[in-house]
Every structure is written in C-alpha cells, then in structure tokens.
Amino acid sequence: MHYVIREYRPADETSWLRCRVLSFLNTSYFDDVLKTKPETPAPGFGLVAAAEHGTVTGIIDIAVEDELATIDTVAVHPDHQHQGLGRALLAEARARVSALGVPMLDAWTRDDPDTLRWYRAMGFTESQHYLHVYASYYTDASEPDRAISERRAGLRPMAAFLHASLEGEQLMREQFARVHVCRRFTMDVL
Ligand SMILES: CC(C)(COP(=O)(O)OP(=O)(O)OC[C@H]1O[C@@H](n2cnc3c(N)ncnc32)[C@H](O)[C@@H]1OP(=O)(O)O)[C@@H](O)C(=O)NCCC(=O)NCCS
C-alpha cells in the first residue's frame, strides 16, 4: 500500500485519533483514549503515515526537552501493522532528532510482548522500570479500599490508578488484578 510520511496537520486530527484508539485496542493501553490530539510544542514534532485520500495509518509524536527526545505516542493502525510503517516513522523521527543535536531518544511502555519485541528490534535498550497499578471495584470490590486506606466521607472509590516502585511488584500482583510494569527504552541518536 502506498503511503507518505509527513508532518501532522490539524486537518488530520480525527483520523489521527481513530488510528491511535484502534492501534491501542489490543494492548494494555486499551483504555487510554484521547478525544483531542495533544500539542507537540517545538522543537518537538508529530509525524504521520498518510495513505491515499489522507487517511492516517501511523503516527509518532516526539517531545523534546533539553538533551532528551521522548516518544509520546507511536501507533500503527491494526490493518497496516507489520508492513514497515512503524519502522519508517521511527527512522524519520530519529533523523529529525539527530538533526536537532539531541543525543538520546526514549520511550516508556508497558508489558505487551509484541510492542516490546518491536522496540528491541528497532535497537532500543531497556532500562528503568516501575509499576502501573489499577484498582477497580468491578474487578474485585475490595481493590479500591485496599489501595486507599483513608476514606473521605461521601466519596466511594470505584477505581484507582497508582504508580509504585518495582520492589513492590509481588505484593501488588497479589493484591490487585491489573498491574503493569512500565519500562523505559532508550536509544543513542548522535
Ligand atoms: C508497535 C508498532 C508501532 C509497530 O509498528 P509496525 O508498523 O507494526 O512495525 P513494523 O512493520 O515497522 O516492524 C518493524 C520490525 O519490527 C519487528 N517486529 C518484531 N515483532 C513485531 C511485532 N509483534 N510487531 C511489529 N513488529 C515486530 C519486525 O522484525 C519488523 O522488522 P522487519 O521490518 O524486518 O519485518 C505497532 O505494531 C503498533 O501500533 N502497536 C500497538 C500500539 C502500541 O503498542 N504502541 C506503543 C505504545 S508505547
């Protein structure tokens, strides 16, 4: 399929949001849904892979702060995965980061095996880790109480999303049904 890699334009927003939500659907980010595209202030940037008629089939957003560039979002529409779009978006993003003189590119992601394989295949090195813990009444009615011991009158916790250090992983997994290891991938750019 023919596509071009180009900068994101405001007219892409609806197609960008659809691409993101559909590509996240089979991952642990399935409920990380956006209704408007976040800004990528310069020197950060956003790129898309656009098919005929301008449909967005892949996206990459890069935030740049001082000496570090971070992938905020990378996603390829599920109908177009495994065809080199992710690799092509990353290659263009990496070239732009290098041209800015920024020496490192990183990304934080969870424990989806396919995504981890992709980052490794692209040359990233895994480093730091911490936990993303979800506590939901609908999974186990006692989870939110376990997560927030001090209750506030009139407020009944139904779900909570918490960060924790990796040392607590076993305890967290014993107590909560949904725990992700969030990990950092880095890549030297210069
Ligand atoms: C991860 C993702 C962006 C990769 O994009 P893609 O276009 O499917 O990947 P590519 O086709 O460019 O794959 C490039 C290489 O990665 C390797 N790879 C290994 N396992 C892979 C996998 N499960 N999926 C994709 N690539 C994989 C392949 O070897 C491939 O090499 P090749 O080009 O020599 O065949 C895409 O699959 C996706 O959107 N996933 C869901 C969203 C997500 O998890 N985003 C990251 C959240 S932080």
The tens digit of pLDDT for each residue in 4-22 reads: 999 999 999 999 999 999 9
183: which 2 tokens?
Answer: 């990990």
Tens of pLDDT, residue by residue over 51-89, are: 988 999 999 999 999 999 999 999 999 999 999 999 999
For domain 3-102, give its CATH number from 3.40.50.1980, 3.90.950.10, 3.40.50.720, 3.40.630.30: 3.40.630.30
Domain spans in the chain, listed from the N-terminal domain onward: 3-102, 106-190
Query: Are residues 89 and 83 in contact, defined by beta-carbon separation less than 8 angstroms?
Result: no
- CA 177 vs. chain centroid, Å, equals 21
Mean residue pLDDT of the chain comes to 96
Pocket of ligand 1 (CB under 6 A): 23-24, 27, 29, 74-76, 81-87, 107, 109, 112, 114-115, 117-118, 121
pLDDT at residue 1 tops 80: no
Tens of pLDDT, residue by residue over 115-158, are: 999 999 999 999 999 999 999 999 999 999 899 888 889 888 88
Cα distance between residue 76 and residue 57, in whole Å: 6
The whole-number pLDDT of residue 149 equals 83
CA of 46 to the centre of ligand 1 (A): 18
pLDDT at residue 105 tops 80: yes
